[in-house]
Amino acid sequence: MYNLWYKNAVIYCLDVDAFMDSDGDGVGDFQGLADRLDHIEALGCDTIWLLPFYPSPDRDNGYDITDYYAVDPRLGNLGNFVEFAQGAKDRGLKIMVDLVVNHTSIDHPWFKASREGHPKYRDWYLWKDEKPADAEKGVIFPGVQESTWTFDRKRQAYYFHRFYKHQADLNIANPAVREEIERIIGYWLALGVSGFRVDAVPFILEDLQGPGDGQSPYGYLGQIRRFLSWRRAEAILLAEANIPMDQAADYFGDDDRLNLVFNFPLNQKLFLALARREALPVRDFLKALPEIPETAQWATFLRNHDEIDLGRLKDEERAEVFAAFGPEKSMQIYDRGIRRRLAAMLGGDERRIAMAFSLMLSLPGTPVIWYGDEIGMGDNLDLPERNAVRTPMQWSAKRSGGFSTARPADCVRTPVTEGPFGYAHVNADAQRVDPASLFATVQRLIRARRSCPEIGWSRPEVLDVDGPSVIGLRYSWRGNHLVTLHNLSDEPQTVEISPLIEGCEVRPVLRAGIDIDRTGDGLTLKLGAYGYEWLRLEAVAEGA
């Protein structure tokens, strides 16, 4: 079996233009990122996922691409990318990049040629002579996006765009387009990339459900996987796919399609549980988690570069989460989501933030961390749409948070300058030397997660523990047993774990806010407000 490194990985996601500026122009770049790799290594993450860094008009944070084979000049050049990749390799860090092939920018040469009727590119996009009657249905960005079809004067036809009108959908049913996608994958693999986060996977498959070459839409995932494996056996595909659990088998296949899929429904249940301070939403979800191939994996997260999408919750459940974490209209977006960072939503309470991190790291799957959350960065709600959570990394208390020597107003996005989350109060320099800081806590949590491969390799047993606010999970793999307990409440909770540890020696892996009572062979844990405990259970040999 090939190296399944992703089963026990911890992924750190960042936006190059917001991470570190090396030349003072207010835009982060690859040289700046290379200079800050020590931060990621020290945190304990072993994989870096880069948001799009390709040439782009940047109308959608780089997801509107004009060239898949280059680096945006603002961020450097291919030489700078290779230097960064070498620096990451020297530190044992793997690199993943975004594969954004559902659409391109309308400024891409392919689209320009297609709208002019060029014989090679004419059918690289989806065109109709008449605007479909349902063009206003299925928009992804309500309130911002008006339609999924836009008239092009040059071609005198309508082109399809599942997202913004400046992002025309590629015609994935066209074999020439699929061949080009393989060429893109092969190119970045040759430059040292270990995997791809595939953007908008359900919408890639959507284009294959109509007339095409007759192939199964889900079969295309297998086609990409085979090509990837031929070029580099250990490379992986991580899908952005907000799917119901009954579709998991379609996306994972029989260990021949996607390696990982983001577990968006679990994320939504997690925030519902945090809002209620009750464990039931997560408990029930995990009990019903479908079986997936042994080598497949979910990806878990607290926050990412987009909104917290609550679209799969019931209306009344979504209202609860809004009330708890996004009560003001300015904090909400697209009628379904919240555009705030984790620390701000949790009121800056480091006990609760640490518990949330510990819980996420203990959930089944590969954890993904959004840059800046490890130090408790806040958001800038004055910025439009999802840019609120994409502010520059706060390195120090210096101007612009040490991200750039440029003024805050001249940075790629205005940093958080005021309030309790401003860079004078929240920054990496101060936290790295403070053993009680959030950074130090997350560092310990990541170290614990990487020492517990049971979480990545086995399905958890959901424990029926006392107390409605406690999530208890037990993992068993290759004779190893791990129990994790998390109190979502701001009130202490008592958990009797004697039945769980019968015949076992108990060794703590992690703990916070815990008191222990031992009575004979019994063991009772008193979890304080937002307390958590990770325990390794080791069988006691007979006669010992």
Q: Mean pLDDT over all residues of the chain?
A: 94
Average pLDDT estimate for 16-24: 98
**Contact between 231 and 187 (Cβ < 8 Å):** no
Confidence category of residue 249, pLDDT binned at 50, 70, 90:
very high
CA dist., res. 542 & res. 503, Å (int): 9
pLDDT over threshold 60, residue 73: yes
pLDDT of residue 524: 84
Confidence category of residue 186, pLDDT binned at 50, 70, 90:
very high
pTM of the model: 0.96
Range(s) of the chain covered by CATH 2.60.40.1180: 460-539
Counting beta carbons within 10 angstroms of the beta carbon of residue 434, is it exposed (0 to 12), middle (13 to 18) or buried (19 or more)? exposed
Does the domain at residues 5-102+174-450 carry the CATH identifier 3.30.365.10? no
pLDDT of residue 540: 64
* Catalytic sites, residue numbers: 199, 240
Strands 236-239 and 260-262: parallel
Percentage of the chain lying above the pLDDT 90 cut: 86
**Contact between 454 and 475 (Cβ < 8 Å):** yes
pLDDT over threshold 70, residue 520: no
In sequence order, the 6+-apart residues with CB closer than 8 A to the CB of 362 are: 449, 455, 473, 484, 486, 534
Average pLDDT estimate for 20-29: 98
Q: Dihedral (C-alpha) 237, 65, 172, 166: value to the nearest 10 degrees?
A: 130
CA dist., res. 314 & res. 320, Å (int): 10
Which has the minimum average pLDDT: 112-116, 276-280, 366-370, 503-507? 503-507
Instruction: Pull the structure tokens for residue 295.
Output: 């080598």
pLDDT over threshold 70, residue 266: yes
CA dist., res. 201 & res. 195, Å (int): 15
Range(s) of the chain covered by CATH 3.90.400.10: 104-171
Strands 522-539 and 11-14: unpaired
Instruction: Pull the structure tokens for residue 217.
Output: 């839409």
CA dist., res. 246 & res. 459, Å (int): 17
CA 364 vs CA 20, 163, 165, 261, 459: distances in Å: 32, 31, 37, 12, 7
Instruction: Pull the structure tokens for residue 288.
Output: 């019903």
Q: What is the pLDDT of residues 192-224, one digit of tens each?
A: 999 999 999 999 998 787 644 556 789 999 999
For the domain spanning 460-539, the CATH number is 2.60.40.1180
pLDDT over threshold 80, residue 309: yes
Range(s) of the chain covered by CATH 3.20.20.80: 5-102+174-450
For the domain spanning 104-171, the CATH number is 3.90.400.10
DSSP category for residue 362: H
Q: What residues pair up with 159 in beta bridges, in sequence order?
A: 127, 150
Q: What residues pair up with 98 in beta bridges, in sequence order?
A: 197
pLDDT over threshold 60, residue 60: yes
Confidence category of residue 516, pLDDT binned at 50, 70, 90:
confident
pLDDT of residue 239: 97
E-strand ranges in 317-432 read 332-333, 337-338, 366-370
**Contact between 272 and 378 (Cβ < 8 Å):** no
CA dist., res. 83 & res. 270, Å (int): 39
CA dist., res. 53 & res. 16, Å (int): 7
Q: What is the pLDDT of residues 156-177, one digit of tens each?
A: 999 999 999 999 999 999 999 9
Quick one: which H or E segment has residue 13?
Answer: strand 11-14
Confidence category of residue 544, pLDDT binned at 50, 70, 90:
very low
Average pLDDT estimate for 176-197: 98
